[in-house]
Amino acid sequence: MEKVKAKVKEAKKPDVTSAPGVPESVGILREYYITIITCLVLALFVTTFVAHPMSVPTESMVPTILVGDRLIVDKFTLRVDSLIGRKLALGREIKRGDIVVFKFPRNPETPYVKRVIGLPNETITIRKREIFINGQRWEDPYGRYMDPQIELHYRDNHGPITIPPESYFVMGDNRDNSADSRYWGMVPASHIIGRPLFVFWSYADPPYQEIQSQNPVMVYLDRIIHFPTKTRWGRMGRQIK
């Protein structure tokens, strides 16, 4: 008899979700809230561990990467020092010729993009722009030189210098106009974020020095007004290599 009474009481309990005091809109708002939170968590996971966008403000990688290119950076393929990189032995080792995005050693908050020229424990020497690795001349298929002078210290003549373990010697493809390992040293493996995959948007921004002297509001306004004409449509989707 007691069990029957209990069942009768349970049957009489009102359905909270359908109660007059709880409007249907609350349930809809709750669903939207859960969806938004889920999307934010997924976006945070992707940008932290898989891929994230970056903008290129300088000419150091011209002609491979132009000023104003917006890139998608792959943080998964290379075996870097991240939770799902080197520590889990995922991805491949960094090779000579790879383009990498890394935290600038002198200011880790700033991401840089350069090409790997020297690997850990190798000795790098530059003589009149020619690159020697462990004493052997390396045929450089990436470098671009515009300045006829070839006797500038550091830029055109550098080393010999031995790269420490777990570090890399990087250079910009625009050899005459790139602040890289020739000037500020090696990139520790722990600073490497990933590699750029492709251009998802390219806008003909002026060089970094000019943008710095302009009002940020005017810069963004210019991008909105001139979006159709200054967007480099032909570079959209171009693979970086």
Catalytic residue list contains 75: no
Catalytic residue list contains 114: yes
Query: In Å, how far are 2, 10, 16, 17 from 6, measured between CA atoms?
Result: 6, 6, 19, 22
Could you say which of 5, 7, 25, 60 is catalytic?
A: 60
SS (H, E, C) the chain: CHHHHHHHHHHHCCCHHHCCCCCHHHHHHHHHHHHHHHHHHHHHHHHHHHEEEEECCCCCCCCCCCCCEEEEEECCCECCCCCCCHHHCCCECCCCCCEEEEEECCEEEEEEEEEEEECCCCEEEEECCEEEECCEEECCCCCECCCCCCCCECCCEEEEEECCCCEEEEECCEHHHCCCHHHHCCEEHHHEEEEEEEEEEEECCCCHHHHHCCCHHHHHHHHHHCHHHHECHHHCCCECC
Could you say which of 75, 82, 114, 181 is catalytic?
A: 114
Q: Kindly report the length of the chain.
A: 241
Query: Which residue matches tokens 């009474």?
Result: 5
**Cα–Cα dist 51/220, whole Å:** 25
Catalytic residues: 60, 114
